Structure 1
């Protein structure tokens, strides 16, 4: 089966009453593989379907996959920068960013699991990128910026300091906030 089919099957079982307590290791593997695909940019919460700026469609199955992480995982204590917080997931592993030329400054840059950051991005502190967000190559996320759930930022976007890009996770059929290539 494909990842999309696996997520659809898991979603249907979740809708039929599957809980975090009942989820199996195989179920966890599906949502872990799904998060890895989001972080690699292999799947996106929305995709461009035409040539004009309004030609974007939500990938409902991807948004459902994100929601499964909240429904089929237990909240637990986590550590980040000496601070204990409680969430269903740890923050995203950022070891791959340096080899792609992406910078993230310390003390306040938080990138959630399931977020994609392209090559040569700059993440200034403090900034936050939420699950399902896509940050294109060469994009600057400046100090005090937030990139919401499933937001899609194109290549070479320059967000000014204190910018909030809202997210749209639900309803799953609604397209998230889109910022096209080259916007600054």
Structure 2
């Protein structure tokens, strides 16, 4: 499966990227669209578009998508997740803007830092000549281990192991900057053949 197999989604992603790139705020494309563009095997095609940024960048990015807005950015705390969340819609496809995302579970706490960390390491992809930065797989691995999604984290780990030197330095930084319990760290280590 490739994004080009989903022309409606690819077209909307291009429109979204063009709008967001008019700002000078750091953001990355996450979720299943990003995984697909990085060659991760997915069971199901992407159905929505997930944009991640830092809390201080939310309002400028929201303004760039305001024509499609379904709500305003608001604090969302649900279960293990906390973020500043807003929703947009176009052509029947949902777009989420997630700012200041934090995951807390089992004594682990992971703060998703876009500008200070992930944006610089984000691989670039071009859609119709326009650059979009993709959420690094190191983040996706940690995130999916924390939310107990083996259907995702096993495929992500397999992709990382194709070129571990490209991903492990960032993963090491994420683990240093955040608090993960021993079980989560052990799962990560096992998935990556004990390279971390």
The TM tier, using the shorter chain, reads under 0.3
TM-score normalised by structure 1 residue count? 0.27
More helix by share: 2
